[in-house]
């Protein structure tokens, strides 16, 4: 039971090693962070098409965490009858601004979700939770740690406010493959239907992928594991922790996730093969 023995994973790793210098991590312009709306709209359209196939409600209430400038939220309004909220880092703390002036059924909250005990201020449970947090600490060697903190914090906020049978889409990362397997496993215990997906059109060279969960079932045992993981991330030695070094599932669950992961590996392989 070792994800690193998967043939496609090995092929992907070899290609990444060979073409590493081709990956572009730069998101700075004039010392300010910028988001690429064109790219976000393409990936957003792809995400929405998956949501539309699975969400049957005619009217939805959603939250979009780390949502600025608001491409995914705009697409939700275009494709669903919706009310929603967007939460994102205040511009004075380095966050990008929302561009959602025209959307009257959307409430904006500029908040740093890493501030202690942040929770949503909403009148009812969510039908849909979206999170796509990315840290702006690109040059910082702790960027991975910060990204994971953002991902797990946004995840817990959404799960805490999601209605039974609600839906979730969140960005995850395959940077550490054991962690990726473990978090997908934990999330698969919280939703009746789950899938993972990586766009071949936008950021095919990056470690980002998306997890989709439908029909949420609150299961405290697994929510507690996410809380435990978040605490582990306070320690700079987090990579030595079991969640980053071993798998916490049995062999049959490993096989299911290993199979799901193949399609992510293929996206990266196909992208880097162009350079061979
Ligand atoms: C990739 S962008 C999201 C793009 C958005 N999904 C869209 O469709 O336009 C990542 C967002 O995370 C936000 N962010 C980063 N750190 C944050 C934090 N600590 N609290 C809240 N938002 C944060 C950034 O300001 C940025 O708006």
Residue spans of the domains in the chain: they are 26-246
Ligand 1 closest atom vs CA 75: 8
Position 257 scores a pLDDT of 98
Q: In the structure, which protein residues have their CB atom closer than 6 angstroms to any atom of ligand 1? A: 35, 40, 44, 66-72, 88-89, 95-96, 112-114, 132-136, 150
Distance CA 225, CA 230 (A): 9
User: Does the bond joining 272 to the residue before it have cis omega, within 30 degrees of 0?
Assistant: no
Ligand 1 pocket mutation, candidates 95, 136, 172, 202, criterion most atoms within 8 A of CB? 95
Ligand 1: which of 75, 88, 132, 140 to mutate, most ligand atoms within 8 Å of CB?
88
Task: Using the predicted structure, report yes or no on whether residue 14 has a pLDDT greater than 90.
Answer: yes
Locate the ligand 1 atom nearest the alpha carbon of residue 95 and give its number: 25
Share above pLDDT 90 across residues of the chain, in percent, rounded to a whole number: 87
Architecture per CATH, domain 26-246, reads as 3-Layer(aba) Sandwich (3.40)
Tell me, in angstroms, the distance from the centre of ligand 1 to residue 89's CA. Answer: 6
What is the pLDDT confidence band of residue 27, given thresholds at 50, 70 and 90?
A: low
Q: What is the largest CA-CA distance in the chain?
A: 54
Q: Specify the residue with its C-alpha closest to ligand 1, atom 19.
A: 112
Of the candidates 193, 179, 158, 173, the residue with the CA atom closest to the CA atom of residue 61: 158
Question: Nearest C-alpha to atom 27 of ligand 1 is from which residue?
Answer: 68
pTM for the predicted model, two decimal places: 0.96
Provide φ and ψ at 230, rounded to 5°. Answer: -65, -40
Output the CA angle 62-113-246, nearest 5 degrees: 95
List pLDDT tens digits, range 132-160: 999 876 666 688 999 999 999 999 999 99
229 is written with which tokens? 């993981």
Ligand 1 centroid, distance to 244 Cα (angstroms)? 25
Tens digit of pLDDT for each residue in 87-109?
Answer: 999 999 989 999 999 999 999 99
Q: In whole angstroms, what is the distance from residue 169 CA to residue 81 CA?
A: 18
Distance 98 CA to ligand 1 centre (A): 10
Nearest-angstrom CA–CA distance, 168 and 166: 7
Can you give the pLDDT at residue 25?
62
Query: What does the pLDDT read at residue 139?
Result: 60
Q: Is the pLDDT of residue 30 over 80?
A: no
Q: Is 225 helix (H, G, I), strand (E, B) or coil?
A: helix
Query: Mean per-residue pLDDT for 169-186?
Result: 98
pLDDT at 26: 62
């Amino acid at each position: 039971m070792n994800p690193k023995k998967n043939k496609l994973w090995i092929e992907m790793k070899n290609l990444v090693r060979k073409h590493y210098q081709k990956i572009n991590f730069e998101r700075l312009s004039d010392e300010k962070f910028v988001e690429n709306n064109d790219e976000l709209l393409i990936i957003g359209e792809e995400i929405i098409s998956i949501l539309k196939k699975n969400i049957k409600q005619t009217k939805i209430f959603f939250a979009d965490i780390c949502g600025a400038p608001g491409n995914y939220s705009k697409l939700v309004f275009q494709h669903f009858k919706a009310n929603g909220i967007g939460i994102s880092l205040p511009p004075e703390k380095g966050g990008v601004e929302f561009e959602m002036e025209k959307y009257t059924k959307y409430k904006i909250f500029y908040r740093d979700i890493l501030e202690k005990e942040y929770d949503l201020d909403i009148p009812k449970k969510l039908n849909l939770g979206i999170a796509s947090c990315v840290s702006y600490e690109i040059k910082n060697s702790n960027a991975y740690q910060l990204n994971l903190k953002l991902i797990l914090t946004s995840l817990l906020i959404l799960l805490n406010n999601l209605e039974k049978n609600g839906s979730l889409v969140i960005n995850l990362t395959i940077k550490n493959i054991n962690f990726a397997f473990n978090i997908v496993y934990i999330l698969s215990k919280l939703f009746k239907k789950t899938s993972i997906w990586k766009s071949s059109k936008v950021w095919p060279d990056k470690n980002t992928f998306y997890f989709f969960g439908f029909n949420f079932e609150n299961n405290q045992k697994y929510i507690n594991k996410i809380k435990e993981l978040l605490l582990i991330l306070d320690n700079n030695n987090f990579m030595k922790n079991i969640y980053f070094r071993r798998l916490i599932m049995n062999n049959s669950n490993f096989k299911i996730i290993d199979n799901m992961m193949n399609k992510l590996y293929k996206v990266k392989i196909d992208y880097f093969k162009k350079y061979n």
